[in-house]
Amino acid sequence: NVIGKMMKEAFENGQYKLPELPYSFDGLEPHIDAATLQIHHDKHHQSYVDGLNKTIQEIADLEGEIDDESAKLYGLERNLSFNAGGHVLHTLFWATMAPKAGGEPTGNIADAINNNFNSFDFFKKYFSKVATTIKGSGWALLTYEPIGDKLIVFAVNDHDKYLGPGAIPLLTVDVWEHAYYLKYQNNREEFVKAWWNLVNWNEVDKAYTWIRRRFKDKEKM
């Protein structure tokens, strides 16, 4: 599927890499304009990839100096969290959008949303509210929490994935201003409203079904 393909492309030959988009820069028009998509992917996402590779190398270069570099180590760990989160969340963001998508989910993900949020309408309102009320830059995430076998929505500041232990992101929306400012200026609510027209529920369902099966089948191992 698209998510698996892009995640595989996101790391090759010992280095993190910028995966190619599964659509053209104008493929998400009119909801996301081509100029924003190109800058967002080629410039912003690339900077997180570069920062991640650089930070990992700097951590490796600390060998033998860890005891004397506690302040530097703290900064490197902060950079690692920021850049790794940026790379993973952006990769999933691209993979879960598609031209002429949107609508309501079907399949296993639809059943799970109804079971966990009572209805798709409530889930959509709740997720949108989380996304539009994040203070500053960040993300809203729909995740699968395998211990309780539940879907949970999290707000993320910047790119730091402060999630419940083991929670696995399935769907993300980026609400940093660089994701929408050229078209929507500071109107985050209009951007999130438009983004729902791009959600590739087929891909989200595939990811949810695959991940949940891996955890639920553990009892048979």
Q: Helix 70-95 and helix 46-60: axis angle, to 10°?
A: 150
| Residue 150 pLDDT greater than 90, yes or no | yes
Token pair belonging to 43 = 């410039």
pLDDT for residue 187 is more than 90 = yes
Helices 70-95/2-9 angle, 10° precision: 150
pLDDT of 214 reads: 87
User: For the whole model, what pTM was predicted?
Assistant: 0.94
CA 202 and chain centroid, separation: 16
| pLDDT confidence tier of residue 165, bands split at 50, 70 and 90 | confident
24-47: average pLDDT = 98
Mean pLDDT, to the nearest integer, of 97-111? Answer: 97
Give the pLDDT confidence score for residue 221 in this predicted structure. 36
Q: How many helices (H) and strands (E) does the chain have?
A: 9, 5
Local structure of 34: helix, strand or coil: helix
pLDDT at res. 219: 52
pLDDT for 208 equals 97
* Model confidence at 107: pLDDT above 50: yes
Looking at residue 218, its pLDDT comes to 53
Q: Which residue has the higher pLDDT, 115 or 164?
A: 115
pLDDT value at residue 220? 47
Chain mean pLDDT for the chain: 93
CB 138 within 8 A of CB 155: yes
CA pair distance 92, 6, nearest whole angstrom: 8
For residue 17, what are its two tokens?
A: 């890499």
Contact between 85 and 158 under an 8 Å Cβ cutoff? The reply is yes
| Predicted confidence band of residue 91 (pLDDT cuts 50, 70, 90) | very high
Best CA proximity match to 125, nearest among 204, 192, 180: 192
SS3 137: coil
Q: Which of 50-64, 90-104, 145-159 has the highest mean pLDDT?
A: 90-104
Q: Summarize the confidence of residues 183-199 as an average pLDDT.
A: 98
Q: How far is CA 54 from CA 19, 169, 220, in A?
A: 18, 25, 41
Q: How confident is the model at residue 65 (pLDDT cuts 50, 70, 90)?
A: low
pLDDT at 74: 82
> H or E stretch including 92?
helix 70-95
Q: Which residue has the higher pLDDT, 121 or 164?
A: 121
Q: What is the mean pLDDT of residues 163-179?
A: 91
Query: What is the phi/psi pair of residue 140, to 5°?
Result: -115, 135
22 burial (CB, 10 Å; 0-12 / 13-18 / 19+) is: middle
